[in-house]
């Protein structure tokens, strides 16, 4: 079973059940069949800016970030009986802005970014 842990730093109107289902389906479709876990954090711009500065030495606010287990080793304690896929951090205010610009539903844009981050966790990167 793939476990998706979702935390929100504010009461953003995006459903945790939908995030969990989409990511579970995505990872299963991409060959993750063992017990696995991924964490998703929904944050605001200030929090994302701090994360970008601390981990990327970047002052730009990113819409989504992903950190694999290799990148977070020594920072967190992982469950010993599961494959830990990594962390996804989604900046909800950026999702809203980008959805408006692209004329998409906010949930549609959020899912697009979460799946993009999921691809990074599986080792697929930009060219």
Give tens-digit pLDDT for 24-75. Answer: 999 999 999 889 999 999 999 999 999 999 988 988 999 999 998 765 555 5
Question: Across the strands, what pairs with 43?
Answer: 91
CATH number at 2-121: 3.40.390.30
In 44-122, beta strands by DSSP E: 64-68, 83-91
d(CA 109, CA 70): 27
Q: What is the pLDDT of residue 69?
A: 73
- Rounded to whole angstroms, how far apart are CA atoms 11 and 14? 9
Tokens of residue 25, six digits: 């389906």
Tens-digit pLDDT profile for residues 73-97: 555 555 556 788 999 999 999 999 9
pTM above 0.85, yes or no: yes
């Amino acid at each position: 079973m793939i476990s998706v842990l979702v935390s929100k730093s504010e009461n953003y109107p995006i459903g945790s059940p939908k995030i969990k289902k989409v990511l579970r389906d995505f990872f299963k479709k991409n060959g993750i069949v063992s017990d696995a876990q991924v964490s998703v954090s929904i944050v605001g711009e200030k929090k994302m800016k701090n994360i970008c500065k601390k981990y990327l030495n970047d002052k730009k606010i990113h819409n989504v970030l992903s950190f694999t287990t290799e990148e977070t080793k020594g920072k967190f304690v992982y469950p010993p009986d599961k494959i830990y896929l990594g962390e996804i951090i989604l900046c909800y205010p950026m999702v809203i802005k980008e959805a408006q610009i692209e004329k998409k539903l906010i949930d549609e844009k959020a899912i697009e970014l979460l799946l993009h981050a999921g691809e990074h966790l599986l080792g697929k990167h930009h060219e």
